[in-house]
Amino acid sequence: MLRIAVQSKGRLNEDTMALLGEADIKISSSKRTLLVCSKNFPLEILYLRDDDIPQTVADGVADVGIVGRNELVETGAEADVVRPLGFGACRLSLAIPKEEEYVGLEWFNGKKIATSYPRILKHFLDEHAISADIHVITGSVEVSTGIGLADAIFDIVSSGSTLVSNNLREVEVVMESEAVLIGNPLMSGYKREILDELLFRIEAVKSAEGKKYVLMNAPKDKVEQILAVLPGIKSPTVMPLADDTWCSIHTVLDEERFWEIIGQLKENGAQGILIVPIEKMII
Ligand code: ATP
Ligand code: MG
């Protein structure tokens, strides 16, 4: 049995549970106790506050965990990053009141900065030889300047709208973060095998993300032109049709490029284009 620590509630919970669900790991959602066992995979889910996840994994109380890279770095816990997961993207930034003139990092010399991430901030300030007073608060960091608690803040930013509504301006990005799968460095061979199976499934889910399966009918004499338009696939499937002047082409397309490519396919005589979602992809 492999034990995974996940955020019990909060921003990473939904995407984490969705990822496990897409990997076909069934977890009873009614029984929301601290520790829940999957019904069809040798995995136990340990629900924790995100602050506690890195150390729990480093101590081996959980074998793996899903947490923001920012939390892992802040705690300094000795856990390995096994795989970035592509959700929970944000950055840790320094922000100052918007009316302040920003002259560069020296602005922070002698200033008081409120943050929940003192370790990352101290490291950054030391690295740039800036001497500032770090004031640790655990929540509502963004209001600190407005209430006269600090001159600046160091906090998580994603869209930046919280900063704007608190009259703050982002002036330095210190760290980019996203959710990562972390692991205990001393995991047993048996647990590592379960982790490999879990990773295999995550890989299949992630590979399918943003991809569509596309089928179309095409005049045989246009196949070459059509294949030239289709990007990045090893070898598309070309199948005969009852009418031997036509064939059927199947391929995988990136959702992002999709409309642009479909237009070119139509120009080359493709018809009956079907676009089908892909659940998992094993490359
Ligand atoms: P907990 O109760 O588990 O301690 P929390 O309040 O400390 O939760 P959340 O706000 O749920 O934490 O954020 C969890 C993680 O989500 C952050 O550490 C960060 O990695 C990521 N994240 C992504 N975007 C944002 C955002 N806009 N604001 C805050 N966190 C974000
Ligand atoms: Mg927290």
pLDDT tens per residue, range 174-198: 999 999 999 999 999 999 999 999 9
Task: Looking at the structure, tell me whether residues 96 and 165 fall in a common domain.
Answer: yes
Q: Which domain holds residue 156?
A: 90-177
Please determine, for residue 241, whether its predicted confidence score (pLDDT) is greater than 60. yes
Please determine, for residue 113, whether its predicted confidence score (pLDDT) is greater than 70. yes
pLDDT tens per residue, range 266-282: 999 999 999 999 999 99
pTM over 0.85: yes
- pLDDT recorded at residue 83: 98
Task: Looking at the structure, tell me whether residues 118 and 141 fall in a common domain.
Answer: yes
Q: If you measure from the C-alpha of residue 12 to the centroid of ligand 1, how many angstroms do you get, rounded to a whole number?
A: 7
Nearby residues of 270 by Cβ (< 8 Å), 6 or more positions away: 216, 217, 218, 222, 226, 249
Average pLDDT, rounded, for the chain = 95
Task: Looking at the structure, tell me whether residues 98 and 161 fall in a common domain.
Answer: yes
Q: If you measure from the C-alpha of residue 59 to the centroid of ligand 2, how many angstroms do you get, rounded to a whole number?
A: 18
Q: Does residue 265 form part of some domain?
A: yes
| Atom 17, ligand 1: residue with shortest CA distance | 68
Q: Does residue 195 form part of some domain?
A: yes
Task: Looking at the structure, tell me whether residues 182 and 50 fall in a common domain.
Answer: yes
7-38 burial code (b ≥16 CB/10 A, e <16): bbeebbeebbbebbebbebebeeeeeeeebeb
Is residue 88 within 6 Å of ligand 1 at its C-beta?
yes
| Across 61-65, 109-113, 221-225, least confident range | 221-225
Nearby residues of 263 by Cβ (< 8 Å), 6 or more positions away: none
Task: Looking at the structure, tell me whether residues 184 and 70 fall in a common domain.
Answer: yes
| Atom 14, ligand 1: residue with shortest CA distance | 11
Is residue 73 within 6 Å of ligand 1 at its C-beta?
no
Q: Does residue 230 form part of some domain?
A: yes
Q: Does residue 283 form part of some domain?
A: no
Please determine, for residue 60, whether its predicted confidence score (pLDDT) is greater than 90. yes
Give the mean model confidence (pLDDT) for residues 258-266. 90
How far is it, in rounded angstroms, from Cα 97 to Cα 126? 23
Q: How many domains does the chain have?
A: 3
Residues in the chain: 283
- pLDDT recorded at residue 33: 81
State the pairing for strand pair 90-97/168-177. antiparallel
Task: Looking at the structure, tell me whether residues 84 and 124 fall in a common domain.
Answer: no
- pLDDT recorded at residue 28: 84
Amino acid letter, residue 161: S
How far is it, in rounded angstroms, from Cα 147 to Cα 151? 10
Query: Would you place residue 232 in the very low, low, confident or very high pLDDT band (cuts 50, 70, 90)?
Result: low
How far is it, in rounded angstroms, from Cα 279 to Cα 209? 8
What's 237's domain CATH number?
Answer: 3.30.70.120
Q: Does residue 282 form part of some domain?
A: no
Task: Looking at the structure, tell me whether residues 195 and 249 fall in a common domain.
Answer: no
Query: Would you place residue 236 in the very low, low, confident or very high pLDDT band (cuts 50, 70, 90)?
Result: confident
Q: Does residue 134 form part of some domain?
A: yes
Which residue in the block uniquely carries the two structure tokens 């923001």? 68
